[in-house]
């Protein structure tokens, strides 16, 4: 399988990348890790005339603390996330989730920016970004702007990115040190996208849930924040009746596509189970 | 489509070639450099037969363009034997533990395992299995591949290889 012909561009700065993408218009695509786009090009499901490779831009990689936030460059790979002590200690849910993405080879190339900006409902990181209240930094022909992850996803492969804009970094506010977290992902095999997955970040106080956020992956055309489900567990000790109520509230907002991973009813059913398991595991981890 | 001149280091030697931007790295390695030990299996980034080592990363060379490898340092299966031509610890492990049947996945398995052992010289069985989870073998059921990697790890660490009880 050989992709259709294209022209290759390797700009050395964000400004040059934006200029190129603006000038070349709809026929150009930015190239990050390439592990979503290149397979699509080989299948000729994507036939861009120009690829603007972002690997030549210094400064799009790296993980740093900025006051109360952790800022991650868009071209930071999943492998680099896994190797980062800052991530392991401060945002362990990213570590847990990155390990569930694809396989080792793909994680050496696949980037956090590509994962969150592509708009693929099967990607795992967007639900975490909703749960963690992440903000995306976009640079475009009209300058830079910040947008909340919760405002970014509009539909399958449709995002708030305007023509010529690229994602340059992701900033995530610090999470309470004593928080509990879990990403529960049901998949058919290593490397697969989720049949259903749920991300939970919560804090406990006196044996009861004090704060909670729940995110859902591949259960709608966009990642979802299950707000009613999260509200249902706050103030409780996650007893069986509460877990059942929370799972039902989450299932109520799911509208997955039927595909090889199962019919709609099945995916919603296991989606509820992922929510239950993630809540239980997160609570056990909270101190 | 105009061709681009690329240079890179492959198995210690400087190489060059003219490629279209759409030329996949695996095609450049096999067809321009005539290093056919790197295999093409699924062509969809699943099977890992085309795994090579590039700048310290295990990469599926069917999912990267040759132009992107400009200036990089690559190792393929042709470059893993010891300098004197003897088998590397991993090659020896695959031979001694019968870590292959048809052999199609072996180059990718060995390149991946080599990087895994560089990053984690004493992996547990679980870490080995997760470490090669991007490489498919359709013959062996993986058991002997895991043993081959354990054999190599023991040899590299200078300890006696002990096969786990079945």
Q: pLDDT tens for residues A228-237?
A: 999 999 999 9
Report the CATH number that the domain containing residue A14 is assigned in CATH.
3.30.43.10
Query: What is the percent of chain B with per-residue pLDDT over 90, rounded to a whole number?
Result: 95
Residue A127 domain-assigned (yes or no): yes
Residues B112, A188, A124, B121: is their CA dihedral positive or negative? Answer: negative
Report the CATH number that the domain containing residue A193 is assigned in CATH.
3.30.390.50
Q: Answer with the one of A123, A148, A173 that is the final residue of a domain.
A: A173
Q: Are residues A149 and A217 in the same domain?
A: no
Count interface pairs A-B at CB distance under 8 A. Answer: 81
* A5 CA: distance to closest CA in chain B (Å): 6
Q: Are residues A41 and A121 in the same domain?
A: no
Q: Are residues A169 and A224 in the same domain?
A: no
- Nearest-by-Cβ selection for A7 from B21, B45, B48: B21
Q: Are residues A127 and A220 in the same domain?
A: no
**Res A105 pLDDT > 90:** yes
How many domains, chain A?
Answer: 3
pLDDT, tens only, B92-116 = 999 999 999 999 999 999 999 999 9
User: What tokens does A212 get?
Assistant: 């909670």
Residue A282 domain-assigned (yes or no): yes
A108–B57 CB contact, under 8 Å = yes
Q: Are residues A186 and A159 in the same domain?
A: no
Q: Cα separation of B158 and A239, whole Å? A: 53
Residue A56 domain-assigned (yes or no): no
Query: What's the average model confidence in pLDDT over A20-44?
Result: 96
Interface residue of B30, B47, B58 to substitute, partner A, most A CBs within 10 Å:
B58
Query: What's the average model confidence in pLDDT over B60-72?
Result: 98
**Res A11 pLDDT > 90:** yes
Q: Answer with the one of A156, A173, A190 that is the final residue of a domain.
A: A173
Q: Answer with the one of A109, A143, A173 that is the final residue of a domain.
A: A173
* A39 CA: distance to closest CA in chain B (Å): 6
User: Which is nearest to A126 in space by CA: A190, A52, A220, A203?
Assistant: A220
Residue A2 domain-assigned (yes or no): no
Q: Are residues A65 and A169 in the same domain?
A: yes
Sheet containing A208-217: order of strands: A180-186, A196-205, A208-217, A224-225
**Res A187 pLDDT > 70:** yes
Residue A46 domain-assigned (yes or no): yes
Residue A1 domain-assigned (yes or no): no
Q: Are residues A156 and A244 in the same domain?
A: no
Report the CATH number that the domain containing residue A134 is assigned in CATH.
3.30.465.10
Is residue B77 helix, strand or coil? Answer: helix
Residue A245 domain-assigned (yes or no): yes
pLDDT, tens only, A239-257 = 999 999 999 999 999 999 9
A4–B131 CB contact, under 8 Å = no
Residue A55 domain-assigned (yes or no): no
A109–B59 CB contact, under 8 Å = yes
pLDDT at position B163 is 78
Q: Domain of A84?
A: 61-173
Q: Are residues A97 and A12 in the same domain?
A: no
pLDDT at position B2 is 86
Which band of pLDDT confidence, cut at 50, 70 and 90, is reported for residue B165?
Answer: low
- For residue B62, CA distances in Å to A5, A38, A65, B14, B108 come to 16, 9, 36, 21, 12
**Which residue intervals of chain A are DSSP H helices?**
14-24, 37-42, 78-83, 85-90, 92-98, 104-109, 112-117, 125-132, 149-152, 227-233, 240-252, 264-285
Q: Are residues A265 and A280 in the same domain?
A: yes
**Res A208 pLDDT > 60:** yes
Strand A135-140 with A143-148, pairing? antiparallel
A35–B45 CB contact, under 8 Å = yes
Taking each helix axis from N to C end, the angle separating B106-119 and B89-96, rounded to the nearest 10 degrees, works out to 130
Q: Are residues A115 and A100 in the same domain?
A: yes
**Own/partner pairs, A227-232, CB within 8 angstroms, 24+ separation:** A228/A252, A228/A253, A229/A275
User: What tokens does B141 get?
Assistant: 């059921």
**Which residue intervals of A153-263 are DSSP H helices?**
227-233, 240-252
Q: Which residue in chain A is spatially nearest to B25 when comparing CA positions?
A: A2
Query: What's the average model confidence in pLDDT over A181-192?
Result: 96
Q: Are residues A66 and A115 in the same domain?
A: yes
Query: What's the average model confidence in pLDDT over B139-144?
Result: 94
Contacts of A5 in chain B (CB under 8 A): 1, 20-22
Question: Are the CB atoms for A286 and A197 separated by under 8 Å?
Answer: no
Q: Are residues A213 and A237 in the same domain?
A: yes
**Res A79 pLDDT > 90:** yes
B58 close to A (CB below 8 A): yes
Question: Are the CB atoms for A123 and A115 separated by under 8 Å?
Answer: yes
Contacts of B21 in chain A (CB under 8 A): 5-8, 51
Question: Are the CB atoms for A116 and A126 separated by under 8 Å?
Answer: yes
pLDDT at position A83 is 97
**Res B166 pLDDT > 60:** no
Q: Cα separation of A42 and A37, whole Å? A: 9
């Amino acid at each position: 399988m050989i992709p259709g012909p294209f022209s290759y561009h390797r700009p050395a700065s964000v400004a040059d990348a934006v200029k190129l993408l603006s000038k070349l218009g709809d026929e150009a695509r930015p190239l990050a890790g390439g592990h979503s786009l290149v397979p699509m090009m080989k299948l000729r499901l994507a036939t861009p005339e120009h690829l603007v490779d972002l690997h030549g831009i210094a400064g799009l990689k790296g993980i740093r603390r900025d006051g109360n936030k952790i800022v991650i460059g868009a071209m930071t790979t999943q492998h680099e996330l896994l190797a980062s002590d800052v991530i392991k200690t401060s945002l362990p849910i990213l570590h847990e989730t990155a390990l569930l993405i694809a396989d080792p080879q793909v994680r050496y190339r696949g980037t956090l920016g590509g994962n969150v900006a592509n708009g693929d409902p099967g990607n795992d990181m967007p639900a975490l970004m909703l749960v963690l209240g992440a903000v995306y930094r976009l640079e475009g022909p009209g300058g830079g702007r910040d947008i909340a992850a919760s405002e970014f996803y509009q539909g399958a492969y449709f995002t708030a990115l305007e023509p010529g804009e690229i994602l340059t970094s992701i900033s995530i506010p610090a999470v309470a040190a004593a928080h509990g977290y879990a990403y529960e992902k049901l998949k058919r095999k290593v490397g697969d996208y989720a049949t259903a997955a749920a991300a939970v970040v919560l804090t406990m106080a006196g044996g009861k849930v004090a704060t909670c956020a729940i995110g859902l992956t591949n259960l709608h055309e966009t990642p979802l924040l299950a707000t009613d489900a999260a509200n249902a567990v706050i103030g409780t000790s996650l007893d069986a009746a509460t877990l059942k109520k929370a799972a039902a509230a989450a299932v109520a907002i799911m509208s997955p596509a039927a595909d090889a991973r199962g019919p709609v009813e099945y995916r919603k059913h296991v989606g509820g189970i992922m929510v239950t398991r993630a809540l239980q595991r997160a609570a056990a981890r909270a101190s | 489509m105009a061709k681009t001149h690329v240079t890179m280091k492959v198995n210690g030697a400087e190489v060059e070639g003219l490629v279209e931007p759409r030329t996949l790295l695996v095609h450049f390695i096999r067809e321009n450099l005539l290093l056919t030990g790197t295999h093409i299996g699924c062509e969809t980034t699943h099977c890992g037969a085309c795994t090579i080592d590039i700048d310290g990363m295990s990469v599926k060379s069917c999912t990267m363009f040759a132009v992107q490898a400009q200036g990089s340092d690559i190792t393929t299966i042709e470059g893993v034997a010891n300098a004197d031509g003897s088998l590397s610890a991993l090659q020896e492990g695959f031979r001694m533990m019968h870590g292959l049947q048809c052999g199609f996945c072996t180059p990718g398995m060995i390149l991946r395992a080599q990087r895994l052992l560089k990053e984690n010289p004493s992996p547990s069985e679980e870490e080995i299995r997760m470490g090669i989870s991007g490489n498919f073998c359709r013959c062996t059921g993986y058991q002997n591949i895991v043993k081959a990697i354990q054999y190599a790890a023991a040899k590299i660490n200078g300890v006696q290889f002990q096969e786990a009880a079945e």
